[in-house]
Each structure stands twice: as C-alpha cells, then as structure tokens.
Amino acid sequence: MVNEPTHAPLLSIVVPVYGVEAYLYQCLESIRADIPAGESDAVELIAVDDASPDGCGAMLRSYAAGRDGVRVVHLSSNVGLGLARNAGLDVATGRYVWFVDSDDWLPPGTISAVLDRLRQHQPDVLMLDHLRVQEDGRREVDASSHLLRGMPAVARLTDQPQLLRVQHTAWNKVVRRAFLDELELRFFPGWYEDIPFSHPLLIGAEKISVLNRVCYLYRQGRQGAITSTRSGRHFDAFGQYERLMDWVRRRHPDEGLQAELFQLMISHYLVVVGNDDRLHPHLRRAFFDRVVEHYRRYLPTGGYPMPAGVTGLKHRLVGRGDYRAYSALRQAHRVAGRLRRPGSAGGAGSVAADEEPGRPAGGATGTGDGHAGGDVAPTRPDALAAGRLP
C-alpha cells in the first residue's frame, strides 16, 4: 500500500530497487538528507521494490517508517528496471520526475540546486552532469560531460545538437511530468531500456536546461552490471533501437536527425559487439549480422556523419557486411591495446578492443535480470567531422 501525499510536490524521485542491499541506504540517504530545511514538501521519494530477493524489501519498509515524503511500492514479481520505473511513475505526484538508480547516489547540494533550476527555468527537461565512481573510489569525468559546457540558460536540440551525444540515460535528466505524458513515453521491458526513452525527451523538448554541476555519482564495476554480464540479452538493444527509430519516424521525420541517430546507433552496437564482457564469442557473429541488418534497414538516403579513426573503419565494414575483416581489425586493435598497457613494450595506457583511444567504456548500472542503465560510449566531437557515406 502506498500512502498518498497531502499535496503535490515539485519533484518526485523514483528509485527502482533490486539486489542492491549493500548500496541502498547510501542512495536513499543521499536523497533524503540533501533536502533543504523547509523544502520537505517539495520532494517525494518513491522506492519501488522489484521483488528483490535480498533484504531490500525489509530495508525499504524500515526506512519509510516514520519518514514523511518516503513512499514504497512493493511489486509481487520481478519485472526489470524499465517496468519498475513505470510502476513508480504511476504513483508519482510531482510536477517533475527524476529516475535515480538504487546503486548510485547524489553529492551534497544536489537537491537544492535542482529545485532552484526547476523553479527558475521551468524546463521540459533538465540535464545534469555526473561522475563515474570506480570501486576503488576514483572519480572520473564522463567523456560526454564537456558537451554540457557553455550552454545558454534554456535551449532546444535544434540549436544545441551536441546534447544528443550526451550519455543517453534516464538518470541524468529531470523531466516535466506533463511533457512526458504528451510524448506518450514509458519504459519498455528488457535491457537497454533507456534508448527509446532518453533520446525522444531531447528531440521533443521545447525548453532544455542544463545544470552545469555534478549532480549524480554513477557507480562502476558492480557485480551484475550488464557491462560485465555475458548474456544473449544484449540482443535486446536491437528491439529498443527499433522502437526509437519508429518513434522518430512518426513524430519527427527529419533526415538530419535520423542521420545523427543512425550514427549513434551503429557506434553503440560496435561497443557491444566488441566487448568480451558482454558477448560470448559464439554470439559475436550473430550480433554483427544483426548490426548489418539494421545498418541496411535504417541507412539514411542522404548518408550520415562518418566517425573518424578505427570506429569509422568499423562502420564501413558493417556497411559491407564483412565480418571476417571486422574480426581481424578487432583482433589487431586488441593487440595494440595490450601493447599500451603499463609494463609492456608499447608503454602505459590500454585501449579497449571496441573503442577509440581516449574514450572510456560506457557503464550500465543493473542486474542480470534486466536492471540496466544506459551505456553508450559517447561520440567524441571530432568523430562527426570525417565525411558522409554516399
């Protein structure tokens, strides 16, 4: 049972919970303890217990007891991250909604800054910066964070197209609830659920605001994250991109936009297919063949921005359907990466087999049951300058 608030808050924070017993309290406290004095009525925290098999359900009941503004939804069966978010959204009453993953947390001062910006600009979407936090505590700037710099107070995607290349996750966006309903957006089941959700928010928004400060700490390397889980469920990405492309075709049939999304889609697929932590070798050829299928199905008639370097070469090999050449290139890139590791003849700094030097691997928060966050390795600005495919 969910207790209804006495009046509508400005912000609903939805936290889907599954298998995060070791991290849950830190997440919840980073939200509740950060609400400024006198603002308790402005924020509601909705935690969704997605039939977690550990002690998370009991922890949530205990945490909510005696704490105003904390509401708990207990699901009778596990539905996965996307549908758990929907369950929280269904009971949220705030004017804005923010989806926070339960193994991540917020730095101090975040809630106040978010509330101030929402009141000041009243945007459709408020975009937030974040840091990646490794298991040893190291904090790293995301490769796409520079794209948020120098933004005007309020913008549209047509004026700031680089925003489409910011990591496409739900948790780095605070969304006006009525706008979300206007777009008829909800999360779909399966992995990579952020793909058909995050991009449409930016495409459809009339007012995008950027809060140029770190508002989210994104945990890396947790056991169960999809970036370290070998599974056939990585094929879910194809269905999610099909939903995105269908939405764009129906709602915003712009050739330039489709070309940009096409480039991002193929680059994302190449991150997945080249990563040993995601695909077992016996699945790699089948995944590559699906990439080729999508390449040919969605290739814009006017071409698209071709990435530079190794990634651009891989794009061309996908376009030709040449798995043998792709496999040879991937192996050569892996050898080059090993030579760059500390202590090797090539010097320090390893290169992932599926990414350009200098681009960190995208990370996804989640469990093997489908709790997965966005994980695209963001496109570097220079990747769009190398020409267009005929």
Residue 212: DSSP 8-state = E
Q: Answer yes or no: is 329 within a domain.
A: yes
Q: What is the mean pLDDT of residues 290-307?
A: 96
Phi, psi of 43 (to 5 degrees): -130, 130
Identify the pLDDT of residue 226: 66
Q: Answer yes or no: is 194 within a domain.
A: no
What amino acid is encoded at 325 in this protein? A
Identify the pLDDT of residue 343: 55
Q: Answer yes or no: is 142 within a domain.
A: no
Contact between 27 and 110 under an 8 Å Cβ cutoff? The reply is: no
Compute the distance between CA of residue 180 and CA of residue 198 in angstroms, rounded to an integer.
11
Compute the distance between CA of residue 93 and CA of residue 133 in angstroms, rounded to an integer.
31
275 against 389, higher pLDDT? 275
Within 86-148, strands assigned E span: 96-99, 125-133, 139-141
Question: Is the pLDDT confidence value at 163 over 60?
Answer: yes
Residue 210: DSSP 8-state = E
Residue 198 confidence class, pLDDT cut points 50, 70, 90: very high
Question: Is the pLDDT confidence value at 92 over 50?
Answer: yes
Q: Answer yes or no: is 270 within a domain.
A: yes
Closest CA to 234 of 261, 268, 262, 196: 268
Q: Answer yes or no: is 38 within a domain.
A: yes
Compute the distance between CA of residue 5 and CA of residue 111 in angstroms, rounded to an integer.
19
Q: Answer yes or no: is 346 within a domain.
A: yes
Pair of tokens at residue 182: 């206007």
Last residue of a domain, one of 104, 138, 168: 104
pLDDT digits 0-9 by tens, 212-261: 899 999 998 776 666 668 899 999 999 999 999 999 999 998 999 999 99
Q: Answer yes or no: is 172 within a domain.
A: no
Q: What is the pTM of this model?
A: 0.85
Last residue of a domain, one of 46, 81, 104: 104
pLDDT digits 0-9 by tens, 93-128: 999 999 999 999 999 999 999 999 999 999 999 999
Question: Is the pLDDT confidence value at 315 over 60?
Answer: yes
Question: Is the pLDDT confidence value at 49 over 50?
Answer: yes
Total of domains in the chain: 2
Identify the pLDDT of residue 337: 73
State which residues form the domain around 37.
Answer: 1-104
Within 76-152, strands assigned E span: 96-99, 125-133, 139-141
| CATH value at residue 99 | 3.90.550.10
pLDDT > 70 fraction of the chain, expressed in percent and rounded: 84
